[in-house]
Amino acid sequence: MSNKNTVAKNSNFRSSSVRPDSRANTLKIYSIGSVILLIAIVVLINILVTGLLGDPLTFDFSANSQNTITTQTRDYIDSMPDNTHIRIVGLLERPSNLQNSPYEYICPLLDDYEAKSGGKITVEYKDPELYPSIISELDPNNVYNLEEGSFVIQYNGQIQVISPLDCFTIDEDYLVLYNAYIPTSNNVEYVFTNAIARLLSGFNRKAYIITGLQDDSSMAVKTILNALGCDVDSIQVSDSFAIPDDCDLLILNGPNTDITEKVMLAIEDYLANGGKFICAVNFTDFNSKESFANLNSVLNTMNINIDPYIVKENDVNYMLDDSGYSSLVSVNSTFLELSTTDFEMYYTFKNSYTRPVSILNNSGSSFMSVAIGGTSENAICVKVADSGVTQYGEPGRYYTSAYSTIPGLVNKPEVIVFGTTDFTSDSYISTYGMNDDNVKFFKSCARYLLGADSSASVDVPTRGISDYALDGEKVTETSSTVVLAVFMISIPLVFLVAAAFVYEKRKNL
């Protein structure tokens, strides 16, 4: 009997132990509810922060703001019509690790283009191996020979192709010595923004660079001209040399030897038909005894001559080194008065190993010729011969660049001549960067001769190569305060409020 009672009691115990506990159910409901409430609060904060404070809470702490588009690009994007749609396609899988590759400068910046465009710009990545149709979709006629790893900007059926190598200024000296590419400046935004501007403006010109007379590859010049809406090709010096009919601008950059008679006659004919010509010649060990007779024959038809000497500055206020062969030159005031509406002017330039450029002032001519950069009044010219170095001429002011045209003609020829390559050479531009005044002036000269208006290009500053170290000034400014407020105060406060609410409900149960 007692065993039966014991079993009965145990049976009653087990029955009561599985009976629902109303307090436990209430706690369970509050726990689930508090989690749901917390998730809802986090989602709501995320929506509010992204929608209302997205930009203020996004910070690029890198020293050169490598991942953030500049005000110039932002203003240009804002000026686009609301219905603009620009598609940027990377012909690759987006790298999971961007470090130590060109894409660490490209991909994060493209993210910023998309984020700040208000839907006008989209960025996607399509590896041709995974999406074989993407090549024919972007370039159905196979005009551009698209390659994996490049980027394509598409707008209204037209495209611009950008190679990662196009986005950097390369150390020319290192390339020549070691055949290796070392970037010296980051031109990613400069290249992408101007490629977009070119597509939207519809501006399209063609430039040709004469090759075969110099070592310079003119990579930087090509980048500058591309950003001005200009396709660039080369014309090799040969017995069949000819200037194509579609040439809007012809460039001779740093020849070591004189042009041939064939080239001379072709350029003279080109100018006679209203051609535009930029010539840059310097004084080096390779051409110190070269008088450039054929080149001068061309330039003489435009009232300009390059003299076979080297400029030596004697005024310490102009000299950049003890030799006097590297110096500052000031812009001729006459040129400033003449061209302030056409050129983006800078008052001083750097010149090194420069040949003097003179105006011939042919009597009775219809030329409008004006010198550009000039030395101090104490400079001299030096002649180099087998017997040594001798002074040529009296101390005075010598000019190192000049502009000439024949006004009044429907198709007026125009020539800009530099007695130095400190405006156009890869070596100079890789050393001083695209933001250098010399380089900016060359951009202005090219823009003027091409007839490019302001809508065809955007004056975006380029940047140095960053190591992504944190910029102390940026970290300690307003951005730090906002980050502190959001992550150290606001979010913890939300959790405290939620915890207090749950505790208040549970303590009376």
pLDDT one digit per residue (tens) for the chain, 509 residues: 455 554 444 444 444 444 556 666 666 666 677 667 667 766 666 666 555 544 444 445 555 577 899 999 999 999 999 999 999 999 999 998 888 888 999 999 999 999 999 999 999 999 999 999 999 999 999 999 999 999 999 999 999 999 999 999 888 777 777 778 788 889 999 999 999 999 999 999 999 999 999 877 788 999 999 999 999 999 999 999 999 999 999 999 999 999 999 999 999 999 999 999 999 999 988 888 889 999 999 999 999 999 999 999 999 999 999 999 999 999 888 787 766 556 767 789 999 999 999 999 765 578 999 999 999 999 999 887 666 677 777 899 999 999 999 988 889 999 999 999 999 999 899 889 888 999 999 998 999 999 887 777 898 988 887 644 444 444 444 545 555 555 556 666 666 666 666 666 655 55
Residue-wise burial string across 475-484, b where 16 or more C-beta atoms lie within 10 A, e elsewhere: eeeebeeeee
* 8-state DSSP, 489: I
**Confidence (pLDDT) at 7:** 44
Q: How far apart are CA 184 and CA 431, in angstroms?
A: 7
**Confidence (pLDDT) at 58:** 47
Class of 206-451 per CATH? alpha beta
Q: What H or E segment, with its residue span, contains residue 291?
A: none
Domain ranges in the chain?
A: 26-63+470-509, 67-202, 206-451
**Confidence (pLDDT) at 172:** 75
Same CATH topology for 67-202 and 206-451: the answer is no
Q: Which of 110, 139, 113 is nearest to 125 (CA)?
A: 110
Q: How far apart are CA 502 and CA 498, in angstroms?
A: 6
The model's pTM: 0.77
Q: For residue 134, is it left (φ>0), alpha (ψ between -120 and 50) or beta?
A: alpha
Q: Is 75 exposed, middle or buried (0-12, 13-18, 19+ CB in 10 A)?
A: exposed
* 8-state DSSP, 462: P
**What CATH number does domain 67-202 carry, 1.20.1250.20, 3.40.30.10, 3.30.70.920, 3.30.70.3290?**
3.40.30.10
